[in-house]
Structure 1
Amino acid sequence: MSKKLSYKNALKRATEIMRDKQLVTRLIHDTKDTFQSKAKTSEKIQAVKFQLFTFIRLVRAYIKGYYREVSVKNMLYTVGVLIYFVTPTDIVPDFLPVGGFVDDAALIIWLYKQLGDEVKQFLEWESKHKQITSINE
């Protein structure tokens, strides 16, 4: 399955998941678990921890209604990236050493850059409301 097709499928699923708070909560939990697992074997994934966990906190704040200053389109992209990250079938199988996580890390970095100002605004908002967006919630 090509990376583009796999991410397109993740975007389709993102629309469904965004409609159900329980599914979003499960996705956040799965993303954290997947990160813990992948980070043990991949420096590439460890390198994008800040960006990935920023996305997790953004999605949580959005779903709970605390923060809505991000476009719906960009929220779908963000949820799509989280789905892609937790999905074991992507362009480079994760069981391959080193290369298996490059596509995950590249997609996370790409989206973080694409969201640019919206991420900066969220981080500024979050710094004033840190108790709301705790990653351990």
Structure 2
Amino acid sequence: MKLNRQKILDFFRKSENRATVILKDKTEANAAIQEALGKAVTYRSDLEGVWDKLVLLYAVAKDYVNGEYREIPKRSIVAIVGGLVYFLSPVDVVPDFVPVLGFIDDIFVLNLVYKQVVKDLEKYKSWKESQVKEIGDLDGSAAL
């Protein structure tokens, strides 16, 4: 099956537009992010190739929306949430209910988003690791 790259990108742009709106409402944004994680967990076996990337995209989106991490350009967080919104849509370029192939376009979009924001994700991972280290230092577990 040959993917229509332009059609996927057009759907993704619509998802980014939706993400821009969603990000203005913390409750709606959190609900969308949680729903994306729930869908990902349900279909984890179909997403093995992008599972770690998806979990990282989910984490940065959650921390951004909750106000814990804001050191990311707006265009990057819109792309990340846009990717999650695209993933959530059951009817996109290749509908998710199509056996075996249903997630191929979602995987394409998630990989595309990851590549677009990889430098921002590296900064996020460093920040996240420093948070874990600080918590360890505070509770004394770092001394163990």
Q: Report the alpha carbon displacement of residue 5 of structure 1 after superposing the two structures with TM.
A: 2.5
Q: CA contact under 8 A between 2:20 and 2:78: conserved in structure 1?
A: yes
Unaligned runs of 5+ in 2: 1-6, 134-144
> Greater relative contact order (Cα 8 A, min sep 6): structure 1 or 2?
1
Cα gap change, 1:37 to 1:128, in 2 (>3 Å): same
What is the Cα-based RMSD across aligned positions, in Å? 1.7
Tell me how far apart the structure 2 counterparts of residues 29 and 63 of structure 1 sit (CA, whole Å): 12
Report SS of the residue matched to 1:48. Answer: helix
> Cα offset for 1:97?
2.1
Radius of gyration: which is bigger?
2
Q: Residue 34 of structure 1: CA displacement? A: 0.8
Please tell me whether the aligned partners of residues 12 and 109 of structure 2 are also in contact (alpha carbons under 8 angstroms): no
What is the aligned partner in structure 2 of residue 71 from structure 1? 73
> Is 2:100 aligned against 1:93?
no
Whether 2:13 is the aligned partner of 1:11: answer no
What is the Cα deviation at residue 86 of structure 1?
0.6
Unaligned runs of 5+ in 1: 132-137
Identity %: 28
Q: How many residues align?
A: 128
Secondary structure class of the residue paired with 1:100: coil
Q: Distance in 2 between matches of 1:63 and 1:101?
A: 26
Greater helix share, structure number: 2
What's the CA shift for 1:47? 2.0
Structure 2 length normalisation: TM-score? 0.82
